[in-house]
Amino acid sequence: MDSTETNNPQNQIIQYPSRTIDRAARAIRCAPFRGKLLADMRSKSVPMKAIAESRGVYNGYSNYPLSELAAESELLWLIEVGLLRREVDGQGITDSFRLTPLGRQLISQWEDQGCPDLPPSFKDHLYNAVNRWLRLPSWL
C-alpha cells in the first residue's frame, strides 16, 4: 500500500471506545438475526420485507419469523447502538437498512475469527436488556 492509499479517509479505520464495541457486539449477539443479514447489509441495503415474517427465515436473516413491528424494533435498537443505519434515497428515509462503519468492523472481526453467529450468554442478555430498556432518554 502506498502513502496515498493510507492517507485516503476511505481506507482509515475509525477507532471506537471499547465500551461502544462491546455494547454493539452484545446487542447483535442478543438480536434474533443471523450473521447472513449483517453480511448482506455490508454490500447492499436490505428492505424490511426481506427481514420480517417467514421471508426473514427463508432468506437466512432471522432465527424465527418476526412480525414487522418486532423486526423493526430490533433493527432500531441496532441503529441506536451504532451498528446499522436507515437507507436514504432522493425522497427521504426508506424501509431498508445498511451497516455503519462500526458494523463493518465487527463483521470483519467475526469473519476473521470464523464465527459470525456467536450465541449470547445469560450475562449478555442481562446487560443488553439493561442497556436497551433502562437507558436515559435521548433528550437528556
Domains in the chain, number: 1
4 falls within a domain: no
Pairing of strands 84-89, 46-47: unpaired
Q: What pLDDT was estimated at residue 117?
A: 63
| Each residue's pLDDT tens digit, 2-13 | 444 445 555 567
DSSP character at residue 62: B
Residue 36 belongs to some domain of the structure: yes
* pTM (2 d.p.): 0.81
Q: What is the tens place of the pLDDT at every residue in 77-88? A: 999 999 999 988
Task: Report angle CA 86, 121, 117 to the nearest 5 degrees.
Answer: 50
Q: What is the pLDDT of residues 92-136, one digit of tens each?
A: 778 899 999 999 998 888 878 776 567 888 999 898 888 888 765
Q: Is residue 25 part of a domain?
A: yes
- The reply to whether 119 falls in a domain is no
CA 18 to each of CA 15, 22, 92, 102, 139: distance values in angstroms, whole numbers, following the listed order:
9, 6, 33, 12, 24
Quickly tell me which residue has 430498556 as its cell: 133
C-alpha dihedral sign at 38, 81, 29, 25: positive
The secondary structure element, H or E, covering residue 95 is strand 92-99
Please state the rounded mean pLDDT for residues 52-80.
95
**Residue 47, Cβ neighbours under 10 Å: how many?**
14
For residue 72, give the CATH number of its domain.
1.10.10.10
Strand order, beta sheet including 46-47: 46-47, 92-99, 84-89
Domain that holds residue 68: 17-113
pLDDT higher than 80, residue 1: no
For the chain, the C-alpha Rg in angstroms (whole number) is 16
